[in-house]
Amino acid sequence: MTARPWIAVAAATFSSLAITVTLPASAQSSPQPKLRIGFMLPYSGTYTALGVAIENGFKLHVDELGGKLGGREIEYIKVDDESDPSKATDNVNKLIKRDNVDVIVGTVHSGVVMAMAKAAKESGTVLIVPNGGANAVTGTMCAQNIFRSSFSNWQPAYAMGEVAGKQGKKKAITITWKYAAGDEMVAGFKEGFEKAGGQVAKQITVPFPNVEFQALLTEIAAAKPDVVYSFFAGGGAVKFVKDYAAAGLNKTIPLVGPGFLTDGTLEAQGEAAQGMLTTLHYADGLNTPRDTSFRAAYAKSFKLQPDVYAVQGYDAAQMLAIGLAAVKGDIGKKAEFAGAIEKAKIDSPRGTFAVGKSHNPVQDIYLRKVDGKENRMVSVAIKGLADPARGCRM
């Protein structure tokens, strides 16, 4: 043996001895620090109810697991993003740089989510998106540390286009808020509708979060399309569906949309929404044991019926729990964490789904019909629909 390996062996032996001797026994078994989860959600404005439902759903699953994920206790840090893209970069950087969170959960608004995805990609912080459908988040911006428990804007929109086209509707007018979610949900509808033989005659937009619809409803009435397709959500959806009915249009031109138009809003929309058809990855009346037990638990905890947003929050917690269990709480093990979620079948109240390589759910899209206070499942409009994930290179 030459001298050098000898030194290496001696050094290795010495250092391992030194570790055994100097580390107090308690340090070896000491619990990991709390896992810091940053909720960046709308707690004010038109999407407030959506943010609250997401947080409720998330916490419900954490409670079911005894308050721990991957063996770690949880600390929550909350930021109100106000659904304001101009504040999004500052808000997300507060969580990443000031609060040093391990995971970010958020948000609802597609424009805000884009800024969050950019910051997450740059910093490597794990981001789980429990709503915001911006296609790019699991498309051109896809990344190992970014996951979505909800949908891409394309998914429910494309399905509604296909359904309306197959119903024989020929001429559609679309109306939505002018921002990424509205644009993409109209584009998805148009793609499905035109493939099935329809044509979008006019695309109307209003600035987000405006709810002044009168002049636009007059314009729609005059154009006499076969169908009106619309994306609004939260408070805006309540106002639009009520205004549409108040103008008498629901008697002559069916109003359809992605299910956000009537989800979590039926209490307030009442008579105005009856009979409406929408497409979404969740529905009332699924009647599976999984959904029934979720609904009972949610109603017991929050004295409210869950909606799609609550399900997405719940599933965000399920995905995080699966990833963390695989790495025993060490979220720094990025590849193992991501690999576990990529391989998982998420046992969602909506039905089981997998996220695939782009990290967006591959899921059934239901056709639903409003009946009283429920978005009752009519059929599965498209089974196992995957977003095209255009531009995603992992």
Strand ranges of the sheet holding 68-69, from the earlier edge strand across to the other edge = 68-69, 72-80, 35-41, 103-105, 126-129, 146-148
Residue partners of 381: CB distance under 8 A and separation at least 6: 159, 160, 162, 163, 279, 365, 366, 367
Taking CB under 6 A as the binding criterion, the range among 64-72, 106-114, 278-286, 360-368 that sits at the site for ligand PHB is: 106-114
Residue partners of 204: CB distance under 8 A and separation at least 6: 173, 174, 175, 176, 216, 219, 220
Residue 284 per-residue DSSP state = B
Taking CB under 6 A as the binding criterion, the range among 4-12, 26-34, 103-111, 266-274 that sits at the site for ligand PHB is: 103-111
Q: Is 8 helix (H, G, I), strand (E, B) or coil?
A: helix
- Using CB under 6 A as the binding rule, whether residue 105 contacts ligand PHB is answered as no
Residue 96 to residues 92, 101, 123, 326, Cα–Cα distance (Å): 6, 6, 8, 23
User: 41 forms bridges with which residues in the sheet?
Assistant: 80
Using CB under 6 A, which residues numbered 218 to 237 contact ligand PHB? 233
Between 70 and 152, CB nearer to ligand PHB: 152
Between 132 and 323, CB nearer to ligand PHB: 132
Q: Which residues of 5-35 are buried (b: 16+ CB within 10 A; e: fewer)?
A: eeeeeeeeeeeeeeeeeeeeeeeeeeeeeeb
* Chain position carrying tokens 């989860």: 37
State the minimum distance, in angstroms, from the CB of residue 183 to ligand PHB: 10
Using CB under 6 A, which residues numbered 29 to 88 contact ligand PHB? none
How far apart, in whole angstroms, are the C-alpha atoms of residue 81 and residue 167? 40
Between 112 and 326, CB nearer to ligand PHB: 112
Distance of CA 42 to the CA centre of its chain: 13
Between 51 and 323, CB nearer to ligand PHB: 51
Using CB under 6 A, which residues numbered 257 to 296 contact ligand PHB? 260
- Using CB under 6 A as the binding rule, whether residue 109 contacts ligand PHB is answered as yes
State the minimum distance, in angstroms, from the CB of residue 348 to ligand PHB: 17
Out of 56, 110, 312, 363, the only residue in the binding site for ligand PHB (CB under 6 A) is 110
Q: Is 56 helix (H, G, I), strand (E, B) or coil?
A: helix
Between 268 and 325, CB nearer to ligand PHB: 268
State the minimum distance, in angstroms, from the CB of residue 223 to ligand PHB: 26
Taking CB under 6 A as the binding criterion, the range among 118-126, 130-138, 322-330, 354-362 that sits at the site for ligand PHB is: 130-138
- Using CB under 6 A as the binding rule, whether residue 188 contacts ligand PHB is answered as no
How far apart, in whole angstroms, are the C-alpha atoms of residue 129 and residue 31? 28
State the minimum distance, in angstroms, from the CB of residue 110 to ligand PHB: 3
Taking CB under 6 A as the binding criterion, the range among 34-42, 131-139, 246-254, 381-389 that sits at the site for ligand PHB is: 131-139
- Using CB under 6 A as the binding rule, whether residue 141 contacts ligand PHB is answered as no
Neighbours of 119 (CB within 10 A): 20
Between 181 and 204, CB nearer to ligand PHB: 181
- Using CB under 6 A as the binding rule, whether residue 108 contacts ligand PHB is answered as yes
CB 185 within 8 A of CB 237: no
- Footprint on this chain of ligand PHB (rule: CB under 6 A): 108-110, 131-133, 153, 181, 233, 260
